[in-house]
């Protein structure tokens, strides 16, 4: 592993794990139950990094996202998602090997996500990652969420590492902003949930990576 990086922190959805299949399945079950057509998987996939509100708005946005009716749909989605959050969710291809390598080298890794701990913790347990992940910082654990640096600093404190020595990998502009705001080196994950109108090069991350294999290569000794 590259000695520049004493540890690695990941965003969760769209970076470490592919949660889009379960997001899409839950939303489409809600739509079909109401006699509406299911949405194409790719349409839902590109919205997952924006969170449940944006995903639900794909199917029920005509209600107005501030309306009580929409909030009912959002809460129903969250309840259903909690029951099915690990049906099809998996580590991205190549990520299992990458985590094995980090563990073998004694390099701690963890997660900084805007996904609530009510979902993050059971998901990590279902994937067998809860005992390996050294830290998982969720929005309900901090006062300010990404792109604020607070969760990044909190994660680095738990790891006992200086932010400048920890690589942060994410698939959203706010991930890169959060890392930079904390003085961390950053990597943009092109394998994640990138909207069609965004170019990860515009985020000005320290590294723009096309694949998990590219991240593996970045972490290898020179």
Evaluate whether 45 touches 193 at the Cβ level (below 8 Å).
yes
Structure tokens at 62: 């005509």
For residues 11 and 169, is the Cβ–Cβ distance under 8 A? yes
State the Cα–Cα distance between residues 101 and 179, nearest whole angstrom. Answer: 23
- Answer left, alpha or beta for residue 199, where phi above 0 means left and psi between -120 and 50 means alpha: beta
**Residue 13 among the catalytic residues:** yes
What span, in angstroms and rounded, lies between the C-alpha atoms of 134 and 159?
7
Could you tell me which residues come within 8 angstroms of residue 72 by beta carbon, excluding any fewer than 6 positions away? none
Reply yes or no on whether 213 is catalytic. no
Rounded CA-CA distance 123/157 in Å is: 23
- Name the residues annotated as catalytic: 11, 13
């Amino acid at each position: 592993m590259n000695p520049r990086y004493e540890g690695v922190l990941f965003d969760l959805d769209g970076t470490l794990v592919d949660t889009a299949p379960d997001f899409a399945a839950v939303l489409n079950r809600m739509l079909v139950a109401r006699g509406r057509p299911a949405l194409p998987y790719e349409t839902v996939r590109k919205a997952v990094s924006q969170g449940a509100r944006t995903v639900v708005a794909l199917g029920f946005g005509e209600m107005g996202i501030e309306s009580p009716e929409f909030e009912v749909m959002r809460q129903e989605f969250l309840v259903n998602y909690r029951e099915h959050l690990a049906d099809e969710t998996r580590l991205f291809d190549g990520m299992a090997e990458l985590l094995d390598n980090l563990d073998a080298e004694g390099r701690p890794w963890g997660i900084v996500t805007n996904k609530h701990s009510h979902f993050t913790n059971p998901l990590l347990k279902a994937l067998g990652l809860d005992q390996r992940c050294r830290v998982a910082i969720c929005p309900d654990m901090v006062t300010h969420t990404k792109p604020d640096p607070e969760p990044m600093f909190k994660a680095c404190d738990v790891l006992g590492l200086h932010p400048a020595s920890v690589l942060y990998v994410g698939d959203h502009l706010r991930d890169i902003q959060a890392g930079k705001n904390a003085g961390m080196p950053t990597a943009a994950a092109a394998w994640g949930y990138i909207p069609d109108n965004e170019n990860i090069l515009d985020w000005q991350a320290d590294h723009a990576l096309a694949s998990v294999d590219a991240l593996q290569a970045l972490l290898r000794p020179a």
